[in-house]
A and B are shown apart, each in its own frame.
Chain A
């Protein structure tokens, strides 16, 4: 077929498809039922025209035009089904997330190990040689009170007077930010994640040792546990996500590095998104319950209970269908 004949026979179809694509620019819902049928009929023919245009010696402008036209129509016809938001959220937290957590337990174990080595190492060092506690605690935290007369009671009284709602929302947003950072820095083959995790573990270990050295350990834990138990756990989950991302890049296994990264990133991002509710709960506790007048033992019990519920959720939810799915896969 000559170029001239090609243009002659197919030009009308292109013009029509162009008109339809233009009309559907705001969405296919702008088309009538008839036009929609026309679109589905015209597009495959024009896609074939693109291939034929490359064979025929046709002018580049026209080639370019029908290529664009085919892409535009392709974009209109092949799109992902829009999913309803709430059913997807419910399925994610009701089934997929705990299952994902259990499948990636090894990364969680690795993150916990890094955290424990840093934390316990710093704790042991600072307990054996108290003067080293300052090495683990960042400079901006001044352990010597600015006002020498300020008793611990007065200090916590001041803390209680900070308005609670802004405190809670600031803590929640800030922690989620940190979790995102711990996750994203995993792209450095996991080194960034380990670094952030290790530094923070040493800081916590240093604090714990310093307070134990001053025999104020109970005060520290009754302050940290109510929110901190869940908060630290959630950070470990985010770190596990970062390690999943990083190790998929560093140790691709039997697929290409590129493919491995894509698979890893997909799982990792789901793992980190699931920590958001944990931070909301932990931050709300930190803003409203930690500064309350409840006795320390009650606060510690609450913190451990919240962590226990979270763990129970992650370990127990979604088993039934998992079994059904695996038995189906087995048969």
Chain B
């Protein structure tokens, strides 16, 4: 079972949309069921309490007729109405911050909403055993209704990082990881930035460009550490850069995992 659905945006960037798990989906379903039962109860009580005591009253007949129709509409229309009007959410889904979308992230059409909710009949007999099995065996945690409608339920829970702590942690991370990288390689920030840039983009440069550029970049560094450039081949120089970058990377990784643990406490 995957935990992500991928949204391919029109900008051709793949966004990772976390999928809602079985637990949150059942919780949302439970909340919705409670709300439906509540509404049905209110309709029932209001209409029965407003019946007149006259046994031959035609008004009573009509009242009961409308009660039956309203209860039917609420029971069958609740999910369809809300999922269509609230862009894939029902009050229960909103409460647990999940949403139904088409595979690929677009909102559902009306037919999609109806398909996935009519198939509740099969999925949900009784207490959603078929839905549960289907959600276990499908890659994107889909019940039969989702498969037929081509929909997934995604999670919109925002991580508990508020923007401010996020910023603070980021600053710490930058300082510590950056510092560690510099300490490990013995480079100045400017040298590190330039070499890292070169390393990331070397695939886009021609061999000639690399051969003219790299000695210029490395020369002051090597001179400072008392080494010499003489007769070095491009492979040797790049291997040296790679070594530096790897050192920086490992130093950053260590600091980052360390910082991550601390910040959670």
Contact = CB atoms under 8 A, between A and B. Distances in A.
A78 B8 CA distance: 12
A184 B118 contact: yes
Interface string B238-260: 00000000000100100010000
Interface residues of A, number: 61
Contact of B64 (A15, A74, A166, A273): A166
Interface residues of B, number: 60
Interface in A203-236: none
A15 B163 contact: yes
Given A59-B173, A70-B15, A71-B15, A1 B200 contact: yes
Interface stretch (A114-122, A145-153, A263-271): A263-271
B170 to A, nearest CB: 6
A65 B161 contact: yes
A177 B73 CA distance: 11
Contact of B13 (A56, A70, A181): A70
Interface in B120-136: 120-122
Interface stretch (A102-110, A167-175, A290-298): A167-175
Contact of A18 (B10, B16, B163): B163
Contacts of A62: 166, 170
Contact of B256 (A59, A184, A188): A59
B115 to A, nearest CB: 5
A50 B13 contact: yes
B68 A166 contact: yes
A57 B246 CA distance: 12
A57 B249 contact: yes
B62 interface: yes
B192 interface: yes
B149 A74 contact: no
Interface string B103-122: 00111111110110011111
B149 A262 contact: yes
Given A47-B9, A261-B148, A187 B119 contact: yes
Interface string B147-174: 1111000000011010100100110011
B185 interface: no
B34 interface: no
Contact of B122 (A3, A4, A75, A185): A185
Residue of B9, B16, B200 with most chain A CB atoms under a 10 A cut-off: B9
B219 interface: no
A51 interface: yes
A18 B112 CA distance: 30
A50 B69 CA distance: 50
Contacts of A57: 249, 252
Interface in B49-79: 58, 60-62, 64-66, 68-69, 72, 76
B173 A74 contact: no
Contacts of A258: 147
A180 interface: yes
Interface string A156-178: 00000001111011101100110
A80 interface: yes
A41 interface: no
B249 A180 contact: no
B12 to A, nearest CB: 8
B15 A187 contact: no
B13 A51 contact: yes
A184 B114 contact: no
A166 B7 contact: no
Contacts of B58: 165
A2 B121 contact: no
A169 B68 contact: yes
A50 B15 contact: yes
B114 A80 contact: no
A166 B47 CA distance: 13
A261 B147 contact: yes
A258 B174 CA distance: 46
A170 B87 contact: no
B13 to A, nearest CB: 4
A18 B256 CA distance: 25
Interface string B169-186: 110011001100000000
Interface in B136-151: 144, 147-150
B6 to A, nearest CB: 11
In the A-B complex, the 7 residue pairs with the closest CB atoms: A165-B65, A265-B148, A184-B121, A173-B72, A163-B61, A169-B65, A166-B64
10 contacts: A64-B159, A70-B13, A78-B10, A80-B109, A164-B61, A180-B76, A181-B121, A185-B122, A188-B122, A265-B119
Given A18-B163, A166-B68, A184-B119, 15 more contacts: A2-B193, A3-B177, A4-B174, A50-B13, A61-B161, A62-B170, A68-B159, A70-B13, A79-B106, A80-B106, A163-B61, A173-B68, A173-B72, A180-B121, A187-B119
